Structure 1
Amino acid sequence: MAIKPITPLLTLSLIFLLSLSAASASFRSSSKWVPRFLGKSSLLTKPQSMTQQQYQYETRYFDQPLDHFSFADLPTFHQRYLINDDHWVGPSQLGPIFLYCGNEGDIEWFADNTGFVWELAPRFGAMVIFPEHRYYGKSMPYGSGDEAYKNATTLSHLTAEQALADFAVLITDLKKNLSAEACPVVLFGGSYGGMLAAWMRLKYPHIAIGALASSAPVLQFEDIVPPETFYDIVSNSFRHESTSCFNTIKESWDELVSEGLKNDGLLQLTKTFHFCQKLENTDDLSNWLESAYSYLAMVNYPYPANFMMPLPGNPIKEVCQKIDDCPDGTSVLDRIFEGVSVYYNYTSDVDCFQLDDDPHGLDGWDWQACTEMVMPMSSSRDTSMFSAYDFNYTSFQEECWKEFRVKPRPKWITTEFGGHDFKTALKMFGSNIIFSNGLLDPWSGGSVLEDVSETIVALITEKGAHHLDLRAATAEDPDWLVEQRATEIKLIQGWLNDYYLEKKPFSDM
């Protein structure tokens, strides 16, 4: 059996164009891509591992304008959304509506991996809605993914602003049809969806009373956080488990390049890493490895999970044990293969691995990263286990022009949603946002890690990974995770209580 792995073009997600500076060229291959929030395979289709629906919902479609900010006669498209009102107490009791802000993938995947929202619904008498992000899953403008992704013109309406407007229009229309205009809306989101949840609360405070933004790197733009933050956190997770494991991975990049330069070196690497077809270059292998390490850090959950790949609990520990426990004399690259197989083949049902045939595919997040979602990243020489490289905006811009015929706007997100002096700005006009982060998650470095005010709070867990709090409760949940969710529930209950108190005088009239 061959497996086509989650591509290293990314975030868990699993994102961004990255180019080499001249100064770093000697330390890194010519790869231009770094982790995205999710694997590329999640962007257009549902993962094959999801064989049955975990939660009950009705699938509906809503006719959305292609451009919310134009009065031109443009076509509409069908936005898919999932809805469940089994526990909703209805408009007469001001039953709340829990809306998950769909991110860059099939909405059914997010619904099945966001058990926390489903578990809260009966407790609060809430309706649950999962709207799909435009240009992902089945919510394709122009009738199909092929047409929607055709060129820069057809992709031009794939923006965070348009997606937020989709959510706002959908929920407003739905509430009107249900005579539920007074019912409060609470937003949820993880990763990019968490960013959308926080931004929607700020942009549409009249529509939603609060937002839980989990693992939301809203500060990962321009120079707000150091560009090496992401890969330093990934590296620290491996170093924490085993210094020798960290050093083996750090040493492996030079070994990989050296082997690739030998006669029949690429053929030998193909055999070592069990690829189905011969490697064309070492860059593809580097990307494949980097992707696995980044995702492992994101989903370093304390119990077995199947979000990105079927993995054991504490998967980085498992990877490092495989690397370190090889017999004396085992080569560096053979050790690396043993370790990375935990990610790509934990179930041991894969005979060979199939590299992505199109590492520069025109998927939605690559477009978003080349237009407004510009998140600079680099890898430091000393603290990172990855090859050293620097973010070079000029090269990045050239790649985006080559790929899409567009020029990035690296300052647009901070202009539209803020970022610089974030705490002061939020104190002035923001409220009712929870920024939850686990410090094992490499995206936590770009999120809000300190309380901003009494109502904009940061919940930090030292051992948490990528939006772990949004996952369904399990018997294996550690006490700190149970306590984190209890705090989130208390805060959400407080938002609702305050809302009901404000509404009570009007209902008594």
Structure 2
Amino acid sequence: MYNSLQCFLSLFLIFSTSLTATKFNFPRLNPSGVHVNDPTTISMPLTEDLKTFYYNQTLDHFNYRPDSYTTFPQRYLINFKYWAGANAPIFVYLGAEAPIDNSTTNIGFLNENAGSFNALIVYIEHQYYGQSVSFGSLEEAYKDASTLGYFNSAQAIADYTEIILHIKKKYQAKNSPVIVIGGSYGGMLASWLRLKYPHIALGALASSAPILYFDDITPESGYYSIVTKNFRENSETCYETIKNSWSKIDKVASLPNGLSILSERFNTCKPLSKSYELKNYLESIYIYVGQYNAPPSYPVTTVCGGIDAAYFGSDILSTIYGGVVAYKGNLPCYVNSQANLLSETNTHGWPRPHWITTYYGGHDKKLVPQRFGSNIIFSNGLSDPYSIAGVLENISDSLVALYTIKGSHCLDLHCANETDPE
């Protein structure tokens, strides 16, 4: 699958619709709050091949008020290991809604291909994340609309173009072709950058990028229908059990001691205060494994295996609990643990606020069970659920779709593995 990179330099825009093996769990870093003039190396390289730089980025690229000229330090990383110098390609990975740190190791696609092209590898951190925070601190940057107003994709893309031009000028690489690369939201940014600034990027690899996932373009049920498809193709009985579980949970919860029954049945870490806690927890598992159903483990198979095995009893609630245990492992308790609560609250900038995009699928919405019809099993929501809003067919000779069967969210960007699908 990696040999396909050979065609990049002759293509104007590439859309890839494969998906990721593992979720990106990035550490949350506090911004330095210090403006340092690029290109001085600020910190020790994350690896021996990487160097860290900060670019003195303009806050607002589109207005001319005095405060628009405020600047902030935007972090970017460069791997010079493979680069042959001027005229050799530059691969630019566009950071998304997280600090850039782990991208340098998670995105194995770049390191595995840069050597063949003698390419420079650049990773740029998205504004408002990691150490690329304006206004001096996260608290100040996220304070209100006066500061969050700059937190949008148009500004982010303009940020990236400035840094790309700066790098090309600094390293006398005026004629080096640039390929921008991103996954999911970052893939949307890559495709938009190529379309909006075609003189900056020769091509774009947009992996699992739901560029059509907006109101009145893609059906609101699309994401959930594909997640459902993953489960149904794996096991019809698993699909039927999950579909019927929502009404069963509501029926039990309506009993005088219903929440206590559910708390005991699902071994919750503390008593449920409402049935929504349980349903939201289950939905999050199903949606996550449906999106990241990657080899070699294929977590949908794990969940359905636990449900169908009926280790804890043959009634619906017991089988659903079996799926939870199969996926989560043998834990002291489930559903509302302190770790779960912390993960739900420690997510600055997530769900994606309207500052970034007007609509980005089910992650931003809580939906009534089976709102989309009885054949869709999730209330909150093939291979990649986001492929419903991606580009699945070639648009032209130069706008090419690479469709991966049995893929997973952004899987094509990860390190090559013998278990990868074709």
Q: Tell me how far apart the structure 2 counterparts of residues 449 and 367 of structure 1 sit (CA, whole Å).
A: 24
Identify the residue that residue 65 of structure 1 maps to in structure 2.
58
Tell me the alpha carbon deviations over residues 455-500 of structure 1, each in whole angstroms, 9 at most, x when there is no partner.
101111221111111110013224x1xxxxxxxxxxxxxxxxxxxx
Identify the residue that residue 72 of structure 2 maps to in structure 1.
77
Identify the residue that residue 376 of structure 2 maps to in structure 1.
384
2:396 to 443, 453, 459: 453
1:356 lines up with 2:349 in the alignment: no
Identify the residue that residue 261 of structure 1 maps to in structure 2.
254
Identify the residue that residue 5 of structure 1 maps to in structure 2.
none
Query: Contact 1:381–1:388 (CA<8 Å) still a contact in 2?
Result: no
Give the partner amino acid of 1:384: I
Q: Tell me how far apart the structure 1 counterparts of residues 313 and 48 of structure 2 sit (CA, whole Å).
A: 50
Give the partner amino acid of 1:112: T
After superposition, the CA RMSD in angstroms is: 2.9
Q: Tell me how far apart the structure 2 counterparts of residues 328 and 134 of structure 1 sit (CA, whole Å).
A: 48
Q: Secondary structure at the match of 2:244?
A: helix
Structure 1 residues 94-493: aligned runs within 5 Å: 94-303=87-296, 313-327=297-311, 329-343=313-327, 345-346=328-329, 348=330, 352=334, 353-354=337-338, 355-356=340-341, 363-366=348-351, 368-369=353-354, 372-375=357-360, 379-387=371-379, 439-478=382-421, 480=422
Query: Contact 2:310–2:319 (CA<8 Å) still a contact in 1?
Result: yes
Tell me the alpha carbon deviations over residues 351-383 of structure 1, each in whole angstroms, 9 at most, x when there is no partner.
553332695888324353476332465751122
Give the partner amino acid of 2:90: I
Q: Secondary structure at the match of 1:108?
A: coil
Identify the residue that residue 18 of structure 1 maps to in structure 2.
none
- Seen in structure 2, the aligned counterparts of structure 1 residues 370 and 287 have a Cα distance that, compared at 3 Å, is farther
Q: Tell me how far apart the structure 1 counterparts of residues 406 and 116 of structure 2 sit (CA, whole Å).
A: 27
The CA deviation at 1:289 is 1.3
Higher relative contact order, chain-length normalized (CA < 8 Å, sep 6+): 2
Aligned length in residues:
378
Tell me the alpha carbon deviations over residues 3-52 of structure 1, each in whole angstroms, 9 at most, x when there is no partner.
xxxxxxxxx899xxxxxxxxxxxxxxxxxxxxxx978x759459xxxxxx
- Seen in structure 2, the aligned counterparts of structure 1 residues 284 and 121 have a Cα distance that, compared at 3 Å, is same
Give the partner amino acid of 2:325: S
Query: Contact 1:149–1:362 (CA<8 Å) still a contact in 2?
Result: no
Identify the residue that residue 3 of structure 2 maps to in structure 1.
none
Q: Secondary structure at the match of 1:368?
A: coil
Judge which range, 326-335 or 102-111, deviates more: 326-335
Q: Tell me how far apart the structure 2 counterparts of residues 276 and 64 of structure 1 sit (CA, whole Å).
A: 46
Query: Contact 1:55–1:112 (CA<8 Å) still a contact in 2?
Result: no
Tell me the alpha carbon deviations over residues 334-353 of structure 1, each in whole angstroms, 9 at most, x when there is no partner.
2222213344x24x466553
Query: Contact 2:20–2:292 (CA<8 Å) still a contact in 1?
Result: no
Tell me the alpha carbon deviations over residues 182-204 of structure 1, each in whole angstroms, 9 at most, x when there is no partner.
21111111101111111000111
Q: Tell me how far apart the structure 1 counterparts of residues 358 and 59 of structure 2 sit (CA, whole Å).
A: 20
- Seen in structure 2, the aligned counterparts of structure 1 residues 453 and 281 have a Cα distance that, compared at 3 Å, is same
Q: Tell me how far apart the structure 1 counterparts of residues 358 and 83 of structure 2 sit (CA, whole Å).
A: 36
Give the partner amino acid of 2:353: Q
Q: Secondary structure at the match of 1:100?
A: strand
Gaps of 5+ in 1: 1-11, 15-36, 47-52, 304-312, 390-438, 481-509
Please, what TM-score do these two structures have when normalized by structure 1? Answer: 0.68
Q: Secondary structure at the match of 2:351?
A: helix
Tell me the alpha carbon deviations over residues 293-352 of structure 1, each in whole angstroms, 9 at most, x when there is no partner.
11111111122xxxxxxxxx1111111111000148433222222213344x24x46655
The CA deviation at 1:68 is 1.2
Please, what TM-score do these two structures have when normalized by structure 2? Answer: 0.82
Query: Contact 1:98–1:129 (CA<8 Å) still a contact in 2?
Result: yes
The CA deviation at 1:387 is 3.6
Query: Contact 1:380–1:388 (CA<8 Å) still a contact in 2?
Result: no
User: Structure 1 stretches (4+) deviating beyond 6 angstroms?
Assistant: none
Judge which range, 217-226 or 448-457, deviates more: 217-226
Identify the residue that residue 14 of structure 2 maps to in structure 1.
none
Query: Contact 2:303–2:323 (CA<8 Å) still a contact in 1?
Result: yes
The CA deviation at 1:290 is 1.1
Query: Contact 2:234–2:301 (CA<8 Å) still a contact in 1?
Result: yes
- Seen in structure 2, the aligned counterparts of structure 1 residues 257 and 360 have a Cα distance that, compared at 3 Å, is farther
Query: Contact 1:13–1:191 (CA<8 Å) still a contact in 2?
Result: no
Q: Secondary structure at the match of 1:206?
A: coil
Judge which range, 116-125 or 57-66, deviates more: 57-66
Q: Tell me how far apart the structure 1 counterparts of residues 65 and 312 of structure 2 sit (CA, whole Å).
A: 69
Identify the residue that residue 16 of structure 2 maps to in structure 1.
none
